[in-house]
Structures are given as C-alpha cells and as structure tokens.
C-alpha cells in the first residue's frame, strides 16, 4: 500500500489516534517509539521478549514471534503504518503486513539487506551512477565454487551471506587452506568471499527518503570499530575528506533511489589506499533502518535519525538535517558493567555501576541508556553523545570520558 500523510494527533479511519508500529523491540525500536510519542503518535511494538526495551515504553506490546499470524494481524489492526528496527525481521512477515497497511521500508528492500550476495549485486548495479563499487568478491555455495576461487581474492574475509552482524559470521583467511577451514567452521553455508583491501578508515552515511522520492542526507560519519563492533563515531567538518564525503552521500542516495526505498537507510563505506598515494571509497554494506553511527543526531542535529524515520513513515515533510554542533558518539557495551577481571563487583553478582555522575559532570555529555535488564559482554547497553562549540573541545571531553570509563582512547 502507498504511504499517505498521517498527521500527528489526528484520528485514523477507525476513530482511534494514529498509531505507528515497529517490528522489533530493541534499542532502535525504543528510540523510534520515543521520537514518535514526542510528536504525538501512539505506538505499537511486536517483539517476543516481554522485557524488550521498546515494548516496555510503547502503548501496545504484542509479545509474539515475528512470523506469528495472530501477532501480525493484531499489529495490522492497531497500526496505521509499520516500520522495522532491524534487518532480520522475516521479509514474508513484512509482505503480509503490507497487504493491509503501509510498510516502510518494503519487504523487498529488507530482503536485499538480509542477503550479502543480493546486497553486493545491488551495489554493483548502482556503481555506474555512483562510481562507488564494493570490494572484489565472489559467492561460495558449493565445494566446487570454493575450489574455483580466484587467487587474487586472497587474502580475504569470508562472510556468511545471511545473519552476520557486529563482526559475527566472518573469518579472515590468508590462503586456500584457511579458506577451506573457515567455510567448514561456518557450517558450509552460503558465503561471500571479499578481497581484503588496504583499509585506511571507515565511514557511513544516513539518508531519509520519502514515498515521494525526496531524499535528504545527514553529515558523513567517521567510524572506529573494535573487534568488529562500532566503538566511536565522530561527525564534524573534515572528519572525512570533503571529496570522499560528497561521493559517499551521492552513492547512498543512488542506493536508496535504485531500491525505491522509503525510510531511513544507512550505508557503510571503507576508505582504502588507492595505490597512488591517495584514498578511494568502497561500499561495504547497508542497514535498512537507523544505525548505531547515527545516534549523535539526537543531540547534534535539529532532526534526529529517529524523527526522520517517523517523518518518512508517516509521510510528513523531510527537511535537510542541520548539524549545529561538532559531535562524538561512544558506544557503551555491557563490558562496562564488569570489573577489569571480567567479574561482577560483588559476590552477590550485582553489576558494577559505571561512573555516570563523573561522566555527566563533563560539559556537553548526553547519556542514553536502553533500559536493558542485564548487561552482557559486547551487548549494546547505551551510548554517550558529546557535543561542544569546537572539535577540540569535543575531543578533549571525549578523552576524559573514555578515561573515566576505562575505554581505549581516541583514534
């Protein structure tokens, strides 16, 4: 179904307040719900976890599996439009919802992001427009294809075609013996082998695209990862070279346009050595939703990525976001709730409380915790946004905050 304008505070054709739904109850769903409620919408969340962060604060929480027919029917009954907070929601479930309600992004768009082979094919199709290609790659589905891998794709990174994220489902390989062992370790499932490129840095771009085709870009985000998980995002003029930033934005718009995408989309890029003393851009992967690297928008921009998601879903005008402050985002993982030895602080297994008072005493710090009931190693528990009048001030504050939290320093 097409998206029509759903005005905040209005009544639906059922005589009920306009309700926006989200498939998935994690932190991205929670922040979508918060943005929607701030604008006057009712919200509904479908997630099987009774303690899901988004479900705990939503007007409605449907506690069923993502493909449960009764749960999907109830979400469609309650909602006037529906989105998703993560890419592994079953695409058939989104197609079912779209039979009676506007769904954005569409099931077809989400299906592309769920499969690395489809995703790479899409990037190649966009490259004549954007000029930005993925790294050389090949698909591996059979032992025969494994044996036929070209020599120039090694060393490389073997990734499962589906269900990999935050560094999971991928193994670096130097030679054919390691490639064969890695494919076996990953269960012999369909994989993508990508050539290992001379990486200099990483960046990402958020766009919001409406059903009318209008697309707006957020500033380009410079990202630092630790162990495959985003650790720090820095966003200010010069964080990414101007020419590369412009190319990354143009490429992301091309990716969204080619999919006829509606909603917020994030595309991640590698900045690599071009072999001639300069840098080039390689498109890595996309996320059909708001993204960890876009959390800085909550405190540094006039429109956050979550408000943009609400606007795109509801068919409201999309204004070009304006960043009013240099910003840095620190990802807060569950490791912070453990002591240096990886143990709870007390024999009673009460979690360590990070020094939030000291951190929040620093100028320009903004703490966002996700309401998760237990901390685990590598689990995303929250983020810290830091804003300031100058880049130097932001980085100085960030260095102090990282030291207080016992985290690695700035890159």
- Residue 164 assigned as binding residue: yes
**Cβ-based neighbours of 62, under 8 Å, separated by 6 or more:** 44, 45, 46, 47, 71, 74, 75, 78
> Helix, strand or coil for residue 159?
strand
Q: Which long-range contacts (CB under 8 A, 24 or more apart) does 387-393 make?
A: 387/299, 387/300, 387/325, 387/326, 387/327, 388/325, 388/326, 388/363, 388/364, 389/325, 389/326, 390/326, 391/236, 391/238, 391/326, 393/326, 393/363, 393/364
Neighbours of 30 (CB within 10 A): 26
Say whether 213 counts as a known binding-site residue: no
Q: Is 214 annotated as a binding residue?
A: no
How far is the C-alpha of 296 from the C-alpha of 135, rounded, in Å?
28
Q: How far is CA 234 from the centre of its chain?
A: 16
State the Cα torsion 307-310-314-315 to the nearest 10°.
50
284 is in an annotated binding site: yes
**Was 170 annotated as part of a binding site?**
yes
Picking from 1, 22, 170, the residue whose alpha carbon sits closest to that of residue 89 is 22
Q: Assess contact for 238 and 249: CB atoms under 8 A.
A: no
Residue 97 token pair: 């919802």
Q: What is the DSSP string of 239-254?
A: SS-HHHHHHHHHHHHH
**Strand locations in 295-347 (E):** 327-333
380 labeled part of a ligand binding site:
no
Tell me if 202 is assigned to a ligand binding site: yes
- Phi first, then psi, for residue 405 (nearest 5°) are -85, -5
Give the C-alpha separation, 274 to 123, whole Å: 19
Ligand-binding annotation for 273, yes or no, is no
Eight-state DSSP code of residue 319: P
Residues 6+ apart with CB under 8 A from 387: 299, 300, 325, 326, 327, 364, 366, 394
The burial of 275, by beta-carbon neighbours within 10 Å (0-12 exposed, 13-18 middle, 19 or more buried), is given as exposed
- Please check if 168 is assigned to a binding site: yes
166 is in an annotated binding site: yes
For residue 159, say whether it is annotated as part of any ligand binding site.
yes
- For the annotated binding site for ATP, the residues are 116, 159, 164-170, 202, 225, 284-285
- For the annotated binding site, the residues are 116, 159, 164-170, 202, 225, 284-285
């Amino acid at each position: 179904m097409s998206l029509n304008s759903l005005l905040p505070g209005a009544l639906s054709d059922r005589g009920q307040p306009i309700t926006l739904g989200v498939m998935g109850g994690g932190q991205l769903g929670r922040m979508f719900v918060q943005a929607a409620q701030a604008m006057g919408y009712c919200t509904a969340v479908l997630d099987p976890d009774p303690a899901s962060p988004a479900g705990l604060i939503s007007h409605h929480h449907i506690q069923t599996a993502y493909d449960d027919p009764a749960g999907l029917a109830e979400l469609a009954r309650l909602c006037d439009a529906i989105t998703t907070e993560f890419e592994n929601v079953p695409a058939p479930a989104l197609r079912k919802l779209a039979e009676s309600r506007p769904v954005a992004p569409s099931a077809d768009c989400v299906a592309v992001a769920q499969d690395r082979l489809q995703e790479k094919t899409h990037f190649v199709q966009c490259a004549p427009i954007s000029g930005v290609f993925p790294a050389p790659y090949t698909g591996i589905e059979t032992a025969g294809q494994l044996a036929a891998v070209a020599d120039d794709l090694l060393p490389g990174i073997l990734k499962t075609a589906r269900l990999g994220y935050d560094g999971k489902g991928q193994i670096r390989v130097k030679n054919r013996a390691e490639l064969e062992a890695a494919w076996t370790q990953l269960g012999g499932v369909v994989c993508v082998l990508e050539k290992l490129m001379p990486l200099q840095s990483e960046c990402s771009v958020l766009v919001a695209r409406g059903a009318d085709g209008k697309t707006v870009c957020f500033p380009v985000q410079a990202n630092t990862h630790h162990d495959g998980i985003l650790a720090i995002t820095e966003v200010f003029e010069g964080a990414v070279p101007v020419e590369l930033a412009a190319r990354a934005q143009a490429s992301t718009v091309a990716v969204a346009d080619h999919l006829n995408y509606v909603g917020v989309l994030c595309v991640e890029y590698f900045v690599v050595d071009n072999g001639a003393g300069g840098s080039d851009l390689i498109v890595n992967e996309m996320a059909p939703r708001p993204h960890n690297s876009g959390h800085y928008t909550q405190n540094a921009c006039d429109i956050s990525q979550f408000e943009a998601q609400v606007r795109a879903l509801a068919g409201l005008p999309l204004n070009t976001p304006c960043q009013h402050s240099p910003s840095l985002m620190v990802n807060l993982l569950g490791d912070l709730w453990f002591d240096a030895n990886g143990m709870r602080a007390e024999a009673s297994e009460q979690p360590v409380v990070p020094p939030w008072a000291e951190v929040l005493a620093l100028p320009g710090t903004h703490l966002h915790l996700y309401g998760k009931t237990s901390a685990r190693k590598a689990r995303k528990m929250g983020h810290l946004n830091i804003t300031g009048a100058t880049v130097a001030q932001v980085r100085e504050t960030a260095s102090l905050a990282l030291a207080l939290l016992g985290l690695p320093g700035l890159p």
